[in-house]
Amino acid sequence: MHGLSRINLTQWRVREWAMAAIAAAVFCVAVFAAGRGLASGAMGEVLRVRFGGDAQHTRVVVDLDRTSRGQVIEDGEQGQVVVSLAGVAPQRGLNGTGSGLVRGWRVAGAGVASRVELDLATSAEIERRFLLPPGDGIAHYRYVIDLKATGRAPTRAAARPAPRAPVRTAERPLIFIDAGHGGRDPGAHGARSDESDVTLAAAQALKQELERTGRYRVRLTRDSDAYVALYRRVSIARQADADLFISLHADAGADPATRGASVYTLSEQGAGRAVREFTRGDNWHRSLNLPGRDPSVDRILLDMTQRATQNRSAQLARTLLGELEGADHPMLRRSHRDAGLAVLLAPDVPAVLLEMGFITNPEDERLLNDNRARRRLMRAVAEGIDRYFREPAGTLQMASTGAAGQP
């Protein structure tokens, strides 16, 4: 009995030691890579700037492709916050309008550093700032600046008009819209229409709604009555580095009285299937931009990436359902569902499948084929996507759990 206990204790210690070793390896790889980049004098790059929060507390997240040290140049007293980031260079013309406490922003080059310049909408000060390394499914560094309102009257400098330069194409999120079925696969049949025709018309309407905002790049997996294999639909979105994938379908049921929309996200069983699909062969890590030096570390990073993607997909599903319900669109009683559907399997692209209604229900079929009703539905979907990108709560909340010290 005592011998068995000692064996179990030894096994437990070995497992604990192995997990600690793996965690240490991941950390050392990241630190070594960052240190080598700084030592070589190679310049990193500011990828983009994001915002979260409100007019009392605003979080600014500067995405970087390598580590950096920050230094405050202007602290908000004169209506502007300026932070210098050493060793990184801005992309040309990186600027735009802000959110919350920030009226407008720009990133300017300053020798071997970049200046992140924030024009304030009202008086504010830096509450804290810190650097987050890659983790939680995010492959790049993030320099976070938290601002809080001071309650004082705005300064003259804060009242300056913000730059309103057009957003560069490369900075806009890329959205893939998948019109379900097509070609030799017509999908479900209604009394007077096929699912493949309904989904294509809806995809084209959603593309128009999103492009009308000027905030997105939009592509379709098919723009005609053509057959596209399920795995090909996911593959082309991943190859294009899509920020979001939405697949449109029309449901079917044996009972013609059943009606209403629903949104599917990836199930836990589907997540396991996705891992098996993406870890086949010897070079699976390359498609996910993983280091490839240690299979155990790569598997951990894959799991983290997939978990973060599932969280973002669930966030997108919630915003879509909220907008559809707000637009009084008919909904199934249990409208958020999960499944291991092929179009949801990408481990690094947030994805949902929207069943717009039941083509086997006369009223739903009528709405799906009515131009005005279709535009109204797709406008609600577009507004849900807008909310998803305006409120990156999941990402920002994860960031706030990291290091809180001054970098």
Read off the pLDDT of residues 251-260 as tens digits, 9 standing for 90 and up: 999 999 999 9
In the predicted model, is pLDDT for residue 404 greater than 50?
no
pTM across the whole model: 0.56
Degrees, nearest 5: CA angle 57-58-60: 150
| Contact present, 92 and 69 (Cβ < 8 Å) | no
Running DSSP on this structure, what letter comes out for residue 117?
Answer: E
Provide the 3-class DSSP secondary structure of residue 279: coil
CATH number of the domain where residue 48 is located: 2.60.40.3500
Please determine, for residue 37, whether its predicted confidence score (pLDDT) is greater than 60: no
Residue 403 lies in a domain: no
Q: Is residue 19 part of a domain?
A: no
Query: Would residue 35 count as lying in a domain?
Result: no
Instruction: Compute the distance between CA of residue 242 and CA of residue 178 in angstroms, rounded to an integer.
Output: 12
The two most distant CA atoms of the chain are separated, in Å, by 79
pLDDT recorded at residue 45: 84
Residue 178: the pLDDT is 97
Give me the mean pLDDT over the 272-287 stretch: 61
Q: Are residues 215 and 157 in the same domain?
A: no
223 phi, psi to nearest 5 deg: -120, 20
Q: Do residue 65 and residue 129 come from a single domain?
A: yes
Shared domain check, 191 and 47: no
Looking at the fold, whether 150 and 185 belong to one and the same domain comes out as: no
Last residue of one domain, picked from the residues 122, 148, 166: 166
Q: Provide the pLDDT for residue 287.
A: 53
Using the 3D structure, point to which of 166, 192, 222 is the last residue of a domain.
Answer: 166
Question: Domain limits at 183?
Answer: 172-393
Same domain, 87 and 201: no
**104 with 203, same domain?**
no
- Alpha carbon 97 to its chain centroid, in Å, reads 20
Residues 240 and 331 in one domain: yes
Q: What is the mean pLDDT of residues 237-252?
A: 93
* 224 and 364 both lie in a single domain: yes
Q: Is residue 21 domain-resident?
A: no
8 in a domain, yes or no? no
In a shared domain, residues 157 and 274: no
Can you tell me the mean pLDDT for 257-279?
83
Count up the domains in the chain and report the number: 2
Edge-to-edge order in the sheet of strand 141-149:
88-89, 44-53, 57-64, 141-149, 124-132
Domain ends where: 166, 198, 221? 166
Q: Is residue 177 part of a domain?
A: yes
Please tell me the total number of residues recorded for the chain in this structure. Answer: 407
Q: Determine the average pLDDT of the residues in 128-146.
A: 86
Rounded Cα distance, 232 and 250, in Å = 20
Q: Are residues 252 and 317 in the same domain?
A: yes
* Same-domain status, 118 and 261: no
The CATH number linked to 255 is 3.40.630.40
pLDDT for 319: 93
Q: Are 221 and 76 in the same domain?
A: no
- Note whether residue 11 is domain-resident: no
> Which range in 107-116, 278-287, 368-377 is most confidently predicted, on average pLDDT?
368-377
The DSSP letter of residue 135 is B
pLDDT reading at 238 higher than 50: yes
Residues whose CB falls within 8 Å of the CB of residue 223, separated by 6 or more in sequence, listed in order: 200, 204
Tokens of 54: 């409100």
Q: Report yes or no: 288 and 302 within 8 Å, Cβ to Cβ.
A: yes
Most confident range (mean pLDDT) of 37-46, 130-139, 311-320, 389-398 is 311-320
Phi, psi of 121 (to 5 degrees): -80, -25
